[in-house]
Structure 1
């Protein structure tokens, strides 16, 4: 089962088109396919489906050149490292790695408002204040609905503050990427690991990306729940009428913070993080997230995550505390940026032992190993599998052990048998 992982036999190189990607459950909803289509006469548009995910819809003829680009850059169908791109040693579990630290914003309000200490937010504030970038592209609450996401353009600290905090719902931050690449100025991009992987793959064929996007930042991701997950969460919180919600956040205002909904009459509903994410939202993940080998942002310059405190047994604790982020630099450019943010006083950091990350992020430390068995289940049931290259999946599978591999294989087989589509 391991022989085809990371290799590219001829039959596995068959082109992926949009419909094939969706039907086989490979779409991550990033919007890149729509983002690189001709804006004057788009062949592909993004929409929210009845199942609550963001998906592309083909509305016109897809030119052969566009089809080839989609096949090459779609992060749902491809995630591949080209080792000559790396400036860092490749850690088999944690990917390209120059240094790992714990960090948090020195802005106490921003630290509290963010989901995990404001590590990314502090770096963005430095980038904007220093003039290194003209703006930031990041996901924030939609201006049209407090329970939906939208792409935000941040130009200063207040914008970054408003966009801070986890958004556990679909987003398509690459939906208009060509338009932003055509604009004057340079920008930093913040997204899920798959979003950053897609943008990095686009950079291989579009020189504008490296010219206009000097920094790509990511946050570790355990998967994208559908908007149906948000509705289920609100219902469990006690909200009877979703349309009555005037403000909503999944986390933040503390660490880990509470899922919080406020109604027009001032009524407020809250739920703790362990319940909201651990028992509700993560039951609504799209299939592509269940076979994702990169929840850790391997293609970013800098990636951040919750730097959970742990109990004596090494298990993460979710008690309310002052937030702190794991901050991993993956490129020389990212490391230099982090050093400048520390020198400028927007970010505080302290050392962290690499071995501690397995306790702070136990799921991410095992994730690559799980993927091998799940891809094996796809192979056995005849589904098209994504192309994953250079991610040390086989090595991680051996590290996970036969019992865990068998459990993941059997569980995925149960989900796949008899399905007509995985989307």
Structure 2
């Protein structure tokens, strides 16, 4: 994987691929194809939210883990439980690079302290599957944590390679609104008064509270921060790549469990981003995962209360309407001669029918303008 001029990680072909290797890519790569996880999940199917075997608000019982995580530390506490109960030997996850904290690295966490150090959102490019082939030797049972597209790719690989399920008994994801580039990271640093990446001693996109602040500590001792609404909503979202704009799965439908911010609602039933004790939403997509989450609660790693699926459109409004916008955006791609991904199932048309014609037209025209404008500049 190499960083391109816009600050995204892209695969680089180093040698000619065999036809067999090309066929694997065609079946696995989520940039080309996503086929709904009909056989991998067994909860009650919801046309928007996917398979739901259990739905709950949850947070880490350990106060330190709850504070350091982006939304109550529930994902971190679950990973710690899996490690300490010896259900897995390690966790493949994303953390800050030790030599450059504004960049991401894939690690295998073998101890609780490594999971705690990796806690918190990483709103920048990551490639946790880049070296995945080296792990499929069956020597260790691992949990995998990745973006919804990462988990979709791994799950689709499992359909043709039985080693995947043997190596990764647990695949865990989180709600994702899109991937900003490293240019977005640089813009965030600039807004906090940091001119050069070399000035950074420590950096967090979120965490240390809920929703937590983007915080940088410079090598000269300066500390600066931005609230979540400004850092994510005002800066980073401007740098999200186009592929994320046509994503049919921002909610981790292929995962065993998907975590999300369990935002509190104001009187108008809109999310409030005021600092509070962290709280996650946990969607167990299999009955096996629902049992594991309850075991983590019983063992004292998690606290939980029941959540209601009818609240999800208010708590996660962006995700509630996202699937329905995809067909209009794909149509714009086809009309401009772009190759569009193949999305099979996922209830995209059903979701689209629930949106107004005006909403779909606005998204179609917006995508059309975005695709035509670069060609005009050339």
**In which range does the TM-score fall when normalised by the shorter chain?**
over 0.9
- 1:163-242 paired onto structure 2 within 5 Å: 163-182=118-137, 184-242=139-197
Q: Equivalent of 2:302, from 320, 341, 347?
A: 347
Q: Equivalent of 2:331, from 352, 376, 382?
A: 376
Deviation at 1:89, TM superposition (A): 2.2
- Cross-structure match for 2:287: 332
RMSD of aligned Cα (Å): 1.2
Secondary structure of the equivalent of 2:122?
A: coil
- Cross-structure match for 1:122: 77
Secondary structure of the equivalent of 1:182?
A: coil
Deviation at 1:279, TM superposition (A): 0.8
TM-score where L is the length of structure 1: 0.87
- Cross-structure match for 2:201: 246
Q: Is the 8 A contact 1:152 1:163 kept in 2?
A: no
Instruction: Give the distance between the partners of 1:383 and 1:119, measured in 2 at CA.
Output: 40
Instruction: Give the distance between the partners of 2:375 and 2:89, measured in 1 at CA.
Output: 46
Instruction: Give the distance between the partners of 1:82 and 1:120, measured in 2 at CA.
Output: 22
State the Cα deviation string for residues 273-309 of structure 1 (Å, max 9, x = none). 0000001000001111000010000000000000001
- 1:101 is the counterpart of 2:56: yes
Secondary structure of the equivalent of 1:417?
A: helix
- 1:265 is the counterpart of 2:194: no
Structure 1 unaligned segments of length 5 or more: list them.
1-45
- Cross-structure match for 1:146: 101
Deviation at 1:193, TM superposition (A): 0.2
Instruction: Give the distance between the partners of 1:165 and 1:374, measured in 2 at CA.
Output: 31
- Cross-structure match for 2:253: 298
- Cross-structure match for 2:367: 412
- 1:308 is the counterpart of 2:284: no
Q: Which aligned segments of 4 or more residues in structure 1 are displaced greater than 6 angstroms?
A: none
State the Cα deviation string for residues 163-214 of structure 1 (Å, max 9, x = none). 0000000000000001112261100000000000000000001100111110
Structure 2 unaligned segments of length 5 or more: list them.
none
- 1:287 is the counterpart of 2:249: no
The alignment of Structure 1 onto Structure 2 pairs a total of residues equal to 376
- Cross-structure match for 2:44: 89
State the Cα deviation string for residues 26-75 of structure 1 (Å, max 9, x = none). xxxxxxxxxxxxxxxxxxxx111111000011121111111110001001
Instruction: Give the distance between the partners of 1:82 and 1:159, measured in 2 at CA.
Output: 31
TM-score where L is the length of structure 2: 0.98
- Cross-structure match for 1:21: none
Instruction: Give the distance between the partners of 1:320 and 1:84, measured in 2 at CA.
Output: 40
